[in-house]
Amino acid sequence: MMLSRTGLLLLILISAFICAPSTGAAEDRLAQAMRALEADSFTAALELSSVRQPNPWLEVYRLSLRAESFLETDDSTGGAECAVSALRLISGGGAKDHPLEGGLIDLAVHCSGPEICLPFVTDRISSRLRPGTLLLIGRHYLETGDSAAAAATITLASRRRPRIGDMELLSELAVSGALAAPGISSETVASLASAAINAGDKETSELLIDLIRSAGEYSWLAELLDADLLASAGSKTKALTRYRAVFNSDKYPVEGKKQALQRLAGLQYRMKRYRDASTSYRTYGLYYPDDPLAEMSTDRSARLEVASGRWEAAAATWSRIADAGPGSLIGREAILGMAVVLEKTGRKSEAYKVLVDNLSGIRGRLRAAYLYWIVRTCGDEQLRSDHALILEGQAAWSFYAIALGDGTGFLNADDERNAIPSISVLESDSRKLSFPGSGVPLDHPALGAFRYFASEKMKREAAGCMRGYIKSLDNTGKKECVGSLYGEARESGLESLCLELAVKYDDLFAGRKDYIEFLYPFAYGSEIDLYSKERELPPELILAVIREESRFDEAVESAAGAWGLMQVMPSTGDWIGGKLGKSEVTLSDLRDPVFNISAGCWYLRFLLDRADESLVAALAAYNAGHGRMRSWKKRLSPHMDPLAAVELIGPSETRQYVRRVLDSMAAYNRQTSTIRK
């Protein structure tokens, strides 16, 4: 049968439509390609990503995965071409504020060198580059005679702390004399030397130290780095001697003496010579009272005296800060610590006076702490009642307010108020909340990319695209559609993004009493219901730890290398995995919400069993390690007086962490109280 000319054309068009890859098909292949890359199937990733994406944001993802796959298959030319094509698409405005921009520059530089990427390296993006990339760019600037740009780039690299993989390049720069170029300061070289010492690279460390010594002016810095190198090699006693020699020498400047004393105190602390460390820190505060580190050093000295059971000596040391007037947040924390010690040693009236005298200007969580202890130390019944009303009015969500009204029993995991409600029920109810601003979102490629990745359950990529879209909203000043975005993020299980939106657009909640429900969302209800019962943990505790550790981001990695919702270190994960009958724990396991919550809950129960059920002690150990829990528990009795134990925790980071988690737990407690009733 013969077809007419019209029929033949129609058949050709239909065939072309059927055979040509559709946008949807291309998108499906992109997700498959990205999963192939994650599984180290680089050839498959290249085959699946051959079709160009019409959405520029998705096209950047396609080009990026191809660049990485080419690099892994030893095709650096193909990798560089794809990376540069993606960077041109971003810089041309098609995918502005794309989250892969910094990583693409890293890829391109390592594929073909820095020159091809220099047009894309701006001040904004430089801070997001890896230190090794910055060193390569800095070397290129040196080779082309741009010493000013080289100095700026290498200085930035030194602040980013080069890693073990960067040591070979760093050694080459040191041997070639490149780091002696004009504009590269001895302080920058010292920072690079410290990175080499931390990486365990003795040879590179010595090269950099010799470079500083040859400059002459900073011979004291070379001496301190030599001592650092000794300490890292295990010769700690010799290092102490070198630090003391610099501090006691008349030939070194005051700055050298200051740094020597700080290093001396820090090493004494790591060696558990707490009395000696306390003396060194106190000496720093006495010798250099106007130095920015003076308050911190005096506070550390006092806290180490508390650690040694010398309460009166601690109060006397802290009193130096009180007498001079605190000049920083650390100083105000010190005043609070002093007041607690005074109260614990029977000097309530003195504690009350120092707190009241220093309350002005204090805000936030620390103000709630001050107000709680003012109430606790006040000797006048009417004044105490007035102070209590102020605390309840200004910090109703705080755990300090709960402790004042209901006692501190809830700070122990075995308290009857910590009965277990169903988090799944509350999670379901919370999804019905109406976020302000429900206008229709403006069309944007970042939003299209978000919806694509959300449909593929690729949360990290979806969140990155949504953040890019939010930046575009900020540029236009339009916030009418924020509520709709929140709803889409919540439906996609992106709790971390929901929390970001609630914090960023808090002005939309003016007068709304349900704001707390957006700031402290319920998520992972089935996992928390399961493991809270299995490990006999308050579910509010699990939610609070997740919120403060990861902000509900399943794939987040900390600077220390902890992963996932409850920030489990790989070594801890291996140990817990063995306890749970799992022979091997991978990074994929740590990013998996089910395993991560299971491991985190197991660890919390492990810590609570050793802390007499004290949440304060367990949280401090969760943050800082459980090695010193026994002595800390004996000294501060956190089960008996948890609020005093909070204020007297030594490391500031751990003290702030415990307060944040307890405040989050208090906020969740307020929401779950209706279920308990």
Q: How crowded is residue 340: how many other Cβ atoms within 10 Å of its Cβ?
A: 28
Query: Do the beta carbons of residue 437 and residue 483 sit within 8 Å?
Result: yes
Q: Which of 157, 222, 215 is nearest to 185 (CA)?
A: 215
Strand partners, 412: 614
Active-site residue flag, 549: yes
Contact 350, 358 (CB under 8 A): no
Helix residue spans in 271-293 (DSSP H): 274-287
How far is it, in rounded angstroms, from Cα 229 to Cα 573? 31
Helical H segments across 457-513, by residue range: 459-476, 482-491, 495-504
Burial of 216 (0-12, 13-18, 19+ CB in 10 A): exposed
CA dihedral 575, 579, 580, 586 (to 10 degrees): 20
Tokens of 362: 């204090």
- Separation CA 288–CA 461 (nearest Å): 50
**Residue 593 CB contacts under 8 Å (≥ 6 apart), including other chains:** 524, 527, 554, 564, 565
Tokens found for residue 242: 């070198």
**C-alpha distances out from residue 661 to 70, 186, 259, 399, 629, Å:** 44, 41, 34, 10, 19
**What DSSP designation does 537 have?**
-
| Dist. CA 277–CA 297, nearest whole Å | 10
8 Å CB contact between 356 and 393: no
Q: Which residues contact 296 (CB under 8 A, 6 or more apart)?
A: 328, 330
Would you state the structure tokens that stand for residue 473, as one six-digit string?
């909203």
Q: Contact 132/169 with Cβ under 8 angstroms?
A: yes
As a whole number of angstroms, the distance between CA 267 and CA 344 comes to: 30
Long-range (24+ apart) CB contacts under 8 A made by 216-224 are: 217/186, 218/186, 218/187, 218/190, 219/252, 220/246, 220/249, 220/252, 220/253, 220/256, 220/260, 221/186, 221/187, 221/190, 221/256, 221/259, 223/252, 223/256, 224/256, 224/259, 224/260, 224/263
Q: Is 219 helix (H, G, I), strand (E, B) or coil?
A: helix
478 three-state secondary structure? coil
What's the CA dihedral at 107, 110, 115, 117 to 10 degrees? 10
Cα distance between residue 342 and residue 650, in whole Å: 17
Contacts with 102 (C-beta within 8 Å, 6 or more apart), sequence order: 125, 128, 129
- Residue pair 395/371 in contact (Cβ under 8 Å)? The answer is yes
The residue with tokens 């009958």 is 581
* DSSP letters spanning 35-53: HHHHTT-HHHHHHHT-SPP
DSSP state of 628: T
Count of Cβ atoms closer than 10 Å to residue 346 Cβ:
9
From the candidates 68, 101, 517, 549, which is the catalytic residue? 549
**Which amino acids are annotated catalytic?**
549
